[in-house]
Amino acid sequence: MRTPEQVEQLVRSAFAGQSGEFRPCAYFDDSLDSIRVVARDCSVTETRVNNLITVLESTYPRGRKCVGFTLKGATHFCREHGLSRGTPIKVSVLLDAILSACPDIIVETFVDHVARPLIREEGIEEVEVGGELAPTTQPA
């Protein structure tokens, strides 16, 4: 059995060298097959725009209410829009692909007036999606 002091020392050594400071980012969540763009570390309410996009809104806003968004079905989306998982994807290119996939006024308004300013102001430039996928095979 370990003492609380021993547990604390184990935790400190496991996280040594990590600042723990939040930085705005975009990342691929493999388990949920989604790309998340997060500008602020806070409690969020998720509001679904359509089957592809979910907006992350600060539960207790101070300043900007939208603090990020999620792109669902990222693997299929990237494959369908020719976005390679082998190299980082520019978030601006990802947003262009979203507009191409969902040419409606709500998505256009979100992308142009919320998402683009968010990534520009927070300096979120790329998302690392992971290794290249094997090509899909069509049934015979």
> In this predicted model, what pLDDT tens digit does every residue of 108-125 receive, in sequence order?
999 999 999 999 999 999
Q: What does the pLDDT average to over 123-139? A: 64
Q: For residue 113, what is the DSSP state?
A: I
Mean pLDDT across 67-72: 97
User: Where do the H-state alpha helices sit in 1-140?
Assistant: 4-14, 74-80, 91-101, 105-110, 116-122
- Identify the weakest region by mean pLDDT among 4-8, 72-76, 136-140: 136-140
Residues pairing with 21 in the sheet: none
Q: Is 90 exceeded by the pLDDT of residue 50?
A: yes
> Taking the model in full, what pTM does it have?
0.78
With CA atoms as reference, report the closest residue to 87 among 126, 58, 32, 123.
126
